[in-house]
Structure 1
């Protein structure tokens, strides 16, 4: 029986395996057993430097950063909505207005109260934080007390490569460890950061000093368990972008050669008269200008060089690669590449909605990890300095707030307003929610309406009538009547 089974099934042992784990000569897939921090120790500085180079020199990445700035920060930045309460728990409109006014003064670009070097206000510093987060994958914000400032605190973005990524200790005296310049306790909570002084033009040359974790805000997206340093958002696309850049450059050079219409002289006979014109290798070169015509030297035949470039498939191939790159950074191809050819309303709306979710995710992350701690510092030091008249016992009530980030207009206002009207009729939304969703403070909007009515009344002007309600979808009344009967 055993021999019969061997004849039928063979002697080779068969195993059930996952195709995803197969190793073949056609797949070059080098894998190691390093944990994420072990991989970062090897690759982090190279990834960051490459991402920075692309941010400086690659048109796609510079456009991507401009896109992110416009849509995440916007022209007005993050707008504060104070939700201050009085002792009874009721909204304190007067105190909320005072906090909002003081915050706008603190964030203004005119006085530059935010940055440690006194060169940036709120919005410009937020742009620096966002760009650093996208390019480096992380941001280290140093909280630096400033007694000379009425708001008591300034901030400095520490260069990510100045946080000593080469400093590693497997086990410290307290049972913790140091990973890429960050001291961790036994539960992997950061205790301090080791930073190199930035006094020269080169990294890893300054004196190393230690900053307690209470003075540093470390912003990064943790994508793997135990990860202690950030990963650039461009990590998956860096090589594709660099290779696509070189391919585009090669096509441009080839196209220039074709446009130049170069010629060569092929020797077909004997001519002793070119000896003085030839170089040491026997080559003869003449400059040719557009429109020039002449005779080939005796014994030579002129031949034209006509490179077939740009390649007819260049555009389609370039677009296909860009689609993958755009997807890796979380944007639609049309938005990332600025290519709106052959799009219709439905596809453009779907892509825009997906892009907006990417922007909103970044906005929520920045608000939670950066703007909220900044507001807490602002309020605490404003009370301490007397810029805001309040007691420390009131801080928990005054700290209530929300930030309204940049929001987006409709793709097709008429269609989307009709849909919004239907949501109102079905009680699926309300005016306050929609005002906040648009990035505005409901208190401010209603105050403006009140001022508008008062100004019209003071001048004896009629108040503009409200817009007529949106028409309901047309319905054949006869059909309804027949259905009811």
Structure 2
């Protein structure tokens, strides 16, 4: 009875001291798992412990590994595309219209402090840095009113290395953790940055200077609560992608070398002198090398008595394609990208399967857009732009100081997802609008457009067509159920 009671409670009686069994198989210490003994670092230590190595390898893979490079490029093109466009939703219609015009026509092209990209190019490069290096810092550069810029503010991208993750210390009630200073309340107060990139040679580049947190945007995707630095988002794919790429190169080299040799000429009996002369020309061989016969298309060698040709077996490699597919599936899953998009292999994929794959992929993209890129990056850029434009007098708002939040209201329009079936998808969208389950404004916003811009364009098109006596098959005003 005692044995059954103890056994039912998770104890073993085998002559050894009683030890409780693991409640979960993953916590067992059997032969299969005894070598699996990971540490338990905190969120910051886990991120910065091997940060330099992971970041360097990720960047190297982005330069030299085609699969990693294509995965990062594909993700950035879907998350940012041609740009995530802001549309002001300020209660003052005149203010909103002027803010949109100022952004589109003047500020966007001059947003980069380094003068290389426009505002949307900065977004794309920032997201690429987040994927490849785990994080990026954006310095908000306030300019003078006489700077010549359309709005006295610009933005400068700063790589992760320029904020040293090894810089940690504590003084008073303040603490510096991985290059980020926190005040007594645990809020970010300053970022400690090198004046120049530490891997570039420049005078005074290794001097550390504090930059107020209000002037820095830190763009990264935290994986754990309390994490203060980002880790490369390619980390799970790096080893498999590298090993797979090296295997593929070795296989290609093997087949390339094998393709140069068709077969061998053998004979039943021979002596050492046979290897000193070419079997076709009879010329002496230089350096005592083995005789070689070059075969041209449509020819066949004439053999000497006793000689025969043995052709090498064809290189089958029947399972090579399936092996490649399975390995690329693992790389694609590690990167969070459908295999078909990473490899370009669309075999055996019909429209229903493709729609299911893209719908799931779009959920991941939209999650990154609305949880990381828009709140961390886009919103901070827009707020700095509006603040600077108002202070410089480019935008007029008398009650801005007391009603700032309302004037900063903004809708963000990611680039639209193209229809897989234009006719079917458009018909479904029209049915939702007619049934009151959606609106023209919402439908236009999902496609990356502003319904007011569409209405103005339709009005201008209609007036121009009527003035010119033109008639078209569509009417933007009359709506029928036909």
Q: TM-score range by the shorter chain?
A: 0.7 to 0.9
1:478 is aligned to none
Give distance in 2, aligned partners of 1:70 and 1:107. 23
1:129 is aligned to 126
Give distance in 2, aligned partners of 1:287 and 1:194. 67
1:438 is aligned to 447
1:376-406 deviation digits (Å, cap 9, x = unpaired): 1112212222333444446544322212110
**Matching of residue 340 in structure 1 with residue 346 in structure 2:** yes
Give distance in 2, aligned partners of 1:154 and 1:2. 77
Classify the secondary structure of the residue corresponding to 1:255. Answer: helix
Q: Is the 8 A contact 1:418 1:470 kept in 2?
A: no
- Change in 2 beyond 3 A, CA 1:176/1:301: farther
- Residue 419 of structure 1, CA deviation: 3.0
2:272 is aligned to 271
TM-score (normalizing by structure 2): 0.83
Q: Is the 8 A contact 1:41 1:165 kept in 2?
A: yes
Classify the secondary structure of the residue corresponding to 2:411. Answer: strand
**Matching of residue 39 in structure 1 with residue 11 in structure 2:** no
1:133-182 deviation digits (Å, cap 9, x = unpaired): 1111111111122221231111111121121122222xx12234322222
Classify the secondary structure of the residue corresponding to 2:44. Answer: helix
1:202-235 deviation digits (Å, cap 9, x = unpaired): 5997222222212211111111122111011111
**Matching of residue 355 in structure 1 with residue 368 in structure 2:** no
1:337-362 deviation digits (Å, cap 9, x = unpaired): 22211111211111111111222222
- Change in 2 beyond 3 A, CA 1:102/1:286: farther
Matches within 5 A, 1:221-240: 221-240=221-240
1:433-470 deviation digits (Å, cap 9, x = unpaired): 11111111121111112212222232233464449856
Q: Is the 8 A contact 2:153 2:388 kept in 1?
A: yes
Q: Is the 8 A contact 2:137 2:160 kept in 1?
A: yes
Classify the secondary structure of the residue corresponding to 2:456. Answer: helix
Give distance in 2, aligned partners of 1:4 and 1:460. 97
Q: Is the 8 A contact 1:258 1:307 kept in 2?
A: no
Please provide the CA RMSD for this pair: 3.4
Give distance in 1, aligned partners of 2:307 and 2:186. 78
Q: Is the 8 A contact 2:43 2:227 kept in 1?
A: yes
TM-score (normalizing by structure 1): 0.82
Matches within 5 A, 1:381-392: 381-391=388-398, 392=400
Matches within 5 A, 1:75-94: 75=82, 77-86=83-92, 92=93, 94=94
Q: Is the 8 A contact 2:195 2:206 kept in 1?
A: yes
Q: Once structures 1 and 2 are overlaid, which stretch shifts more, 292-301 or 195-204?
A: 292-301
1:111-145 deviation digits (Å, cap 9, x = unpaired): xx111122221122121111111111111111122
Matches within 5 A, 1:7-26: 10-12=14-16, 13=18, 15-17=20-22, 18-26=24-32
Classify the secondary structure of the residue corresponding to 1:119. Answer: coil
Q: Is the 8 A contact 2:141 2:155 kept in 1?
A: yes
2:189 is aligned to 191
1:67-112 deviation digits (Å, cap 9, x = unpaired): 223322223x1222222223xxxxx1x3322221110123444xxx
Give distance in 1, aligned partners of 2:396 and 2:294. 78
1:378 is aligned to 385
1:174 is aligned to 172
1:63 is aligned to 70
- Change in 2 beyond 3 A, CA 1:372/1:47: same
Classify the secondary structure of the residue corresponding to 1:346. Answer: helix
Classify the secondary structure of the residue corresponding to 1:218. Answer: strand
Q: Is the 8 A contact 1:37 1:227 kept in 2?
A: yes
2:289 is aligned to 284
Q: Is the 8 A contact 1:99 1:388 kept in 2?
A: yes
- Change in 2 beyond 3 A, CA 1:409/1:273: closer
2:324 is aligned to 318
Give distance in 2, aligned partners of 1:303 and 1:387. 85
Matches within 5 A, 1:440-479: 440-462=449-471, 464-466=473-475
Give distance in 1, aligned partners of 2:3 and 2:408. 82
Classify the secondary structure of the residue corresponding to 1:39. Answer: helix
2:280 is aligned to none
Give distance in 2, aligned partners of 1:182 and 1:48. 18
Classify the secondary structure of the residue corresponding to 1:192. Answer: strand
Q: Once structures 1 and 2 are overlaid, which stretch shifts more, 10-19 or 449-458?
A: 10-19
